[in-house]
Amino acid sequence: MDISNIARKLDLSDNNLVVRKAAEIRRLCDAQFDSSIIGVGEICKAVICLEIAASRLPVIFDRQAAVKLSGMSEKAYTRSFNSLQNVIGFKIKLNIKELAIQFGCVRIIKSVQNILSSYKERFLASLPASRRANADFTRPVFTAAAFYLCAKKQKLKVDKLRLIEVCGTSESEFACVSTSMTDLCFDCVGVSKEKKDAKDVKGNRELLDVLPGKRRLEDGGYSSDDESSCYKRHKKMEEAKYEDWKSTVVDSIKKNPEKGAKKVIQTSLNFSKKDETKELQVDS
C-alpha cells in the first residue's frame, strides 16, 4: 500500500516533508530486515514509519487513529513500534525537564539527575575495567527508570505504561533497568516497607492466655513447675468447694428429714378388659 494514501487517512498528506521522511525510513527497514519476522505487516509498518518521521519533525501525530488504522491493539502496536525503531537504530532523546513537565513532576528534576549520576558511577564500578568503555547510558530507558523510581520514592503518581511508551522501550527492559537501579541505588530510590512482627500482633491472645495450658514460655508465662502447681491448687479449690456443698446438703437433710426423704411410689400397669378382647380378636 502506498504510504501517501496512509498519510492521507492520518491527515498528513499536506505535509510532504513527513511523507518523504517516512518513505525513506520504510526503504531503510526493507533493506535491513524482514518486518514480518517481528509480526509487523506492510500497513502497520507504513503507519509506524509515519509516526517515526513525525516524531523526528515538529509535527503532531494522532496515535489513536494510527493504532486503529494498523489493525492492532494499542499494546501490540507499541511493542511493534519500539522493536522497529530499535532495529533501524533510531534512538529517542529523552529530556528530564520535558519529561517532568509532561508528567507534572517538576520538583524531582534535580533528584533524577543525582540518581542517574550515582547509578552510572556505581554501575561502572561494578564492571571489570575491560567492559567499562562499552557501557552505554544514553538510552532513554535509564532516564525513564530513574524518573519513575524517584517519583515513586516521593509518592508521586506517574503512569508507568505511558512512560514506557514515551521512552520507546519494552516493559521487560524497563523492569530490568529499574531492578538494577534499585539494587545499586537503594539509598536513593528504595522504599522500605514496614512489616509487623508476628509476635507483636497479639490480637485476641489474651482470651487464650486465661488457661494455664495455653501460656507460652517466651511470652513470660508460667514454667512447667508453675503450671503443675497452679493446676494442683485449682484442683484443691474445686475439691474444697465440693466438700462445702456436700456438708450443707447433709446438714439440711438432718434438720428437715421429712423434706429430705423422698417417697418412692411404684405404679402398676392395669390393662382394661376392652383392650384384652381387641388383642384376642386380632390374634384369632
Write out pLDDT tens, residues 209-237: 444 444 444 444 444 455 566 667 777 88
Nearest to 48 by CA among 26, 73, 15, 74: 26
d(CA 113, CA 91): 20
Reported residue count of the chain is 284
3-state secondary structure of 218: coil
pLDDT at 114: 92
Instruction: Please state whether the predicted TM-score (pTM) of the whole model is above 0.75.
Output: no
* DSSP per-residue codes, 137-169: --SHHHHHHHHHHHHHHTT----HHHHHHHHT-
CA 97 vs CA 108, 147, 262: distances in Å: 9, 10, 102
- Those residues whose C-beta lies under 8 Å from the C-beta of residue 160, and which sit 6 or more positions away, are 148, 174
pLDDT at 268: 56
Which residue reads 511493534 in cell numbers?
Answer: 80
pLDDT of the chain, 284 residues: tens digit per residue: 678 888 888 888 788 888 898 888 888 888 877 777 767 888 888 888 888 888 878 788 888 888 888 888 888 888 888 778 777 777 677 788 888 888 888 899 999 999 999 999 988 888 888 888 888 788 888 999 999 999 998 888 888 888 887 777 778 888 999 999 999 888 888 776 544 444 444 444 443 344 444 444 444 444 445 556 666 777 788 888 888 888 888 888 777 765 555 554 555 555 555 555 555 454 54
pLDDT at 257: 62
**CB neighbours of residue 141 within 10 Å:** 20
pLDDT at 197: 47
| Torsion (CA) 226, 228, 233, 239 in degrees, nearest 10 | 170
Contact 99, 69 (CB under 8 A): no
Average per-residue pLDDT for the chain: 76
Nearest to 83 by CA among 117, 40, 123, 47: 40
d(CA 26, CA 21): 9
pLDDT at 35: 75
d(CA 87, CA 9): 26
pLDDT at 146: 92
